[in-house]
Amino acid sequence: MKKLIFTLLAIALIKITFGQCQRPDTTFENNVYYYSANLNWSSSTNTNHYKIRYKEISNSQWQYKNNIDSSTTNKTLTNLISQSLYVWQIRSHCDTNNVFVSSWTPVDSFFTSTSLCPTPNALATSNITHNTAQANWDTIATAHRYKIHYRILNTNSWLNLNLINGAMNNTSIPVLQQNTTYEWQLMAYHDSTLNMGSLWSASEIFTTGNFIYAQFNPLIVTSLETNLCNSATEFEIVITQNQNEPDIATSIITTDGGLFDIGSISFGDSVGYANFISANQNIESTLRAGLIVGPNYAIINSYDTSNSLIGFFAIENTTNGIRVSTTSPNDGNDYTSGYISNINFTNLFVNPNINGDLNILTELNSESGEIVVINETIYINCVNGIEESQDNKKVIQKINFLGQNINKRSHGSQINIYNDGSIQKIMKIKNL
């Protein structure tokens, strides 16, 4: 008997709740496309907000749109599945606590399809390298933007490129793996809101090539601002690599004389500067003393213009001279796009107290296992403590900043190498 009473009370409460909150009426859809649809209804009185539920007809789980403003009589659903039958309903909520609600409206339906959003076609792939490819297609007059996704063939995860202007008919697919088969597809958006999307095109398939390394042939040029013996001087190291050479893994530079005046510096002191120039980057940095372990060993840190640490290397005094060593960070591949790197120690190096040759040995190890050893010699002058006259200096070689010999009549930027071992850099800038 109690159960019957509770059941009758529950039914009565439901009837009172629905009776006090009027449901919307006259539901219909418009602007139905492949991935979106606009739902419409007539407004109801005393409504605080509306709630919509919708699903693919074959799905057992509803999706919801909550807290729809009472002054609104339409709502656009997005991220729908193309060419699918959906059902939907709406109800009124007449208070903020969602106690007084109307019944759901009768089920309405729509099918996500349209003739207003044609799909791109005539896909083709060109300029295929080991890590990039060019995607091509025929433009569509009504396209506002295009979207490309791509993946390794027979895998599940797609990668997406940024949206492409509707006037374009090609773009580059970057950062690919060598000797790998990919597929890509294209769709068009026919409006600025991305609601009017086309179907994805049929897949276009291509295979990347094998990467071919250039010869590991880095150029090293070391120079001193002065070759006066027993004098503090700027010590400069310039490293140049051509495109597609193997990356340098480790580098060690040693001399058979001279020393770093490590005892004169403290943590955080500026000891020089560096810059790195490539096709895509121009990084300027300051060299500052880091960890100092006595007068013969220190870590030098490199900070960019935003004061972020971007690298470090070790300097030390040996029994015969100095040693500079560094390990290059892994950049995700084992080849370079080409660059010029310039490192300057400002008055930290002290020339040996000799009158003769200072030998500089550089050993570079590539990430592919190759080794290059470069020997250089700079003549150190000691004449009664006064640097020898430069009147008899002669240029014996001229090279550009890529290390290539140039004609002695060249008017471009260059490095002059003199018969006494000194080096002069000349930068010439053309006036606009």
Q: Quote the DSSP letter at residue 70.
A: T
The two tokens of residue 132 are: 């990039």
Torsion of Cα atoms, 236 then 242 then 245 then 249, to 10°: 20
Which of 153, 182, 207 is at the close of a domain?
207
- Provide the domain limits for residue 67: 2-111
CB 284 within 8 A of CB 275: yes
Same domain, 382 and 261: yes
H/E element holding 12? helix 2-20
213 lies in some domain: no
Same domain, 399 and 383: no
Q: What pLDDT, on a 0 to 100 scale, did the predictor assign at position 82?
A: 97
Measured distance CA(393)–CA(387) in Å, rounded: 13
What's CA 408's distance to the chain center, in Å? 41
Write the pLDDT tens digit of every residue in 139-188: 999 999 999 999 999 999 999 999 999 999 999 999 999 999 999 999 99
Measured distance CA(269)–CA(50) in Å, rounded: 66
Measured distance CA(115)–CA(71) in Å, rounded: 32
212 lies in some domain: no
Return per-residue pLDDT of the chain as tens, 432 residues. 444 434 433 443 444 444 589 999 899 999 999 999 999 999 999 999 999 999 999 999 999 999 999 999 999 999 999 999 999 999 999 999 999 999 999 999 999 999 999 999 999 999 999 999 999 999 999 999 999 999 999 999 999 999 999 999 999 999 999 999 999 999 999 999 999 999 999 999 999 999 888 999 999 999 999 999 999 999 999 999 999 999 999 999 999 999 999 999 999 999 999 999 998 889 999 999 999 999 999 999 999 999 999 999 999 999 999 999 998 877 777 889 899 999 999 999 999 999 999 999 999 999 989 999 999 999 999 975 444 444 455 566 666 655 666 654 444 455 666 666 566 554 433 333
Return the amino acid letter for 151: R
Same domain, 188 and 302: no
Report the relative pairing of strands 371-380 and 259-260 from DSSP bridges. unpaired
Measured distance CA(320)–CA(256) in Å, rounded: 5
Same domain, 367 and 332: yes
119 lies in some domain: no
116 lies in some domain: no
Torsion of Cα atoms, 362 then 367 then 371 then 374, to 10°: -30
Same domain, 25 and 141: no
Same domain, 232 and 161: no
Same domain, 371 and 256: yes
DSSP 376-407: EEEEEB-BTTBPPPSTT--EEEEE-TTS-B--
Same domain, 384 and 394: no
Q: What pLDDT, on a 0 to 100 scale, did the predictor assign at position 279?
A: 85
117 lies in some domain: no
Number of domains the chain is built from: 4
Return the amino acid letter for 344: N
CATH no. for residue 49?
Answer: 2.60.40.10
Q: What pLDDT, on a 0 to 100 scale, did the predictor assign at position 395?
A: 61
Q: What pLDDT, on a 0 to 100 scale, did the predictor assign at position 206?
A: 98
87: CB partners within 8 A, 6+ apart: 54, 55, 57, 107, 108, 109
Q: What pLDDT, on a 0 to 100 scale, did the predictor assign at position 231?
A: 95
Same domain, 149 and 39: no
Q: What pLDDT, on a 0 to 100 scale, did the predictor assign at position 280?
A: 85
* pTM for the predicted model, two decimal places: 0.58
214 lies in some domain: no
12 lies in some domain: yes
Same domain, 352 and 225: yes
CA distances from 11 to 7, 163, 174 (A): 6, 54, 64
Same domain, 31 and 176: no
Which of 85, 111, 137 is at the close of a domain?
111
233 lies in some domain: yes
CATH no. for residue 337?
Answer: 2.60.40
Same domain, 224 and 331: yes
